[in-house]
């Protein structure tokens, strides 16, 4: 049995300030003091943008979660072997890498968003629908934070474009809206629910997240790189917000040339079958390929799908795709 406890169904309410604030403060400390072999520092001695995944063990790649609390529960309980993913984390036998975007339900939550928007327009920032939406998203991120605190060298959450609780345009962020006014509605919900200190700290957490991960023969970021970025640029991304934007916001066909291939050639010059993985843009099947097959998009919002990458075996990623609704 695992000593790490979590609720198997999403609580009906967002985490209380009393529970949430100390965990946010703890995860900030963990992110500020990561093992430097895993997370080298930037020039200004702050955490750099790059994660070097621990070698010799499999990496579980998790696409955009978007408030799917049940998806994260399924991942932790899934048993790739005799052990569950949670037990493998406790034994240090697996890396768990999230590509970012924890908040904001996608199409599956459309009806709820529409209902929450009606409330929002009449000045009710925490009605039933919005409370349900934020309960899913915030309890999900609460659990991600607790995982990061418990397994700091093996759990990594890359920053996505939805890690922007203030809905601002600082630090490479841009306000977000898709179906309704999700970004602003979330910020108003936060202000109506939590003290300013908690919201500020939540933003600090978001702006400490790494943006790029390096595995044995693969690279990962939230979105396709918009152009080639040097190691120095990525390491120091928090001093160069356009680098963050360029790794979390890129739409299909927006990248200049084949930046994923250029980056793979730099990190794995001897390995023409190395691959670059990202979420962000939805795919219709299990995955979609761009950049001559070297850039793999893995986010299908309709599926609870993870990819288990064995060391030095990215080229066989198709064998590691697991739909958790089918196991």
CA atoms within 13 A of residue 80's CA, in its CB half-sphere: 23
- Measure the CA–CA gap between 27 and 201, rounded to whole angstroms: 10
The span from the CA of 59 to the CA of 217, in Å, is 11
- Based on the shown chain and the rule CB under 5 A, indicate whether residue 15 belongs to the binding site for Mn ion: no
Single out the segment in contact with Mn ion by CB under 5 A; choices: 96-104, 197-205, 229-237, 251-259.
96-104
CB of 160 to Mn ion, least distance (A): 5
Rounded to whole angstroms, the Cα distance separating 220 from 234 reads: 12
Which window, 10-18, 40-48, 158-166, 262-270, contacts Mn ion (CB under 5 A)? 158-166
Q: Indicate the DSSP class of residue 76.
A: H
Contact assessment for residue 64 and residue 176, using Cβ atoms and an 8 Å cutoff: no
In the chain, the N- to C-terminal Cα span, in Å, equals 21
Binder of Mn ion out of 95, 135, 161, 193 (CB under 5 A): 161
Q: Of the candidates 87, 101, 106, 133, which one interacts with Mn ion according to CB under 5 A?
A: 101
What is the nearest approach in angstroms of Mn ion to the Cβ of residue 222?
Answer: 6
Site string for Mn ion, 239-278 (x = CB under 5 A): ----------------------------------------
The answer to whether the CB of 97 falls within 8 A of the CB of 135 is: no
Residue nearer to Mn ion on the CB measure, 161 or 297: 161
**66 scored as a contact of Mn ion (CB under 5 A):** no
Stretch that binds Mn ion, among 66-74, 89-97, 119-127, 156-164 (CB under 5 A): 156-164
Under the binding rule (CB under 5 A), the answer on residue 280 touching Mn ion is yes
Q: Which is nearer to Mn ion, 151 or 187 (CB)?
A: 187
In the bound complex, which residue of the shown chain has the CB atom lying closest to Mn ion? Answer: 280
* Residue 138 CB neighbour total at 10 angstroms: 27
Closer to Mn ion at the Cβ: 160 or 259?
Answer: 160
If one asks whether residue 183 binds Mn ion (CB under 5 A), the answer comes out as: no
The answer to whether 293 and 236 have CB atoms below 8 angstroms apart is: no
By CB under 5 A, residue 160 contacts Mn ion: yes
Q: Which ranges in 59-195 belong to alpha helices (H)?
A: 69-77, 85-91, 110-121, 128-150, 182-193
CB distance 179 to 112 below 8 Å? no
Q: Give the interface with Mn ion as residue ranges (CB under 5 A).
A: 101, 160-161, 280
């Amino acid at each position: 049995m695992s000593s790490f406890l979590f609720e198997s169904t999403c609580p009906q309410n967002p985490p209380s300030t009393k529970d949430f604030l100390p965990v946010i403060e703890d995860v900030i400390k963990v992110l500020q003091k990561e093992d430097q072999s895993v997370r080298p520092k930037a020039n200004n001695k702050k955490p750099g943008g790059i994660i070097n995944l621990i070698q010799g063990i499999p990496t579980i790649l998790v696409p955009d979660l978007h408030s799917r609390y049940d998806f994260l529960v399924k991942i932790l309980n899934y048993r790739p072997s005799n052990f569950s993913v949670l037990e493998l984390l406790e034994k240090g036998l697996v890396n768990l890498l999230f590509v970012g975007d924890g908040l904001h339900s996608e199409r599956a939550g459309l009806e709820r968003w529409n209902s929450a928007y009606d409330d929002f327009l009449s000045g009710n920032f925490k009605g039933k629908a919005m409370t349900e939406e934020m309960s899913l998203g915030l309890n999900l991120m609460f659990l991600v934070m607790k995982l990061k605190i418990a397994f700091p060298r093996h759990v990594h959450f890359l920053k996505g474009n939805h890690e922007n609780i203030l809905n601002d345009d600082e630090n490479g962020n841009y306000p977000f809206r898709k179906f309704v006014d999700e970004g602003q509605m979330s910020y108003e919900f936060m202000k109506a629910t939590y003290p300013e200190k908690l919201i500020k700290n939540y933003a600090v957490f978001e702006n400490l997240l790494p943006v790029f991960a390096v595995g044995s023969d693969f690279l990962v970021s939230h979105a396709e790189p918009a152009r080639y970025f040097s190691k120095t640029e990525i390491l120091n991304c928090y001093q160069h917000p356009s680098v963050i934007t360029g790794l979390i916001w890129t739409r299909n066909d927006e990248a200049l040339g084949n930046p994923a291939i250029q980056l793979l050639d730099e990190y794995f010059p001897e390995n023409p079958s190395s691959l670059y993985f990202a979420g962000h843009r939805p795919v219709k099947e299990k995955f979609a390929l761009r950049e001559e097959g070297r850039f793999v998009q893995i986010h299908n919002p309709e599926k609870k799908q993870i990819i288990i990458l064995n060391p030095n075996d990215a080229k066989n990623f198709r064998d590691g795709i697991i739909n958790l609704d089918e196991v």
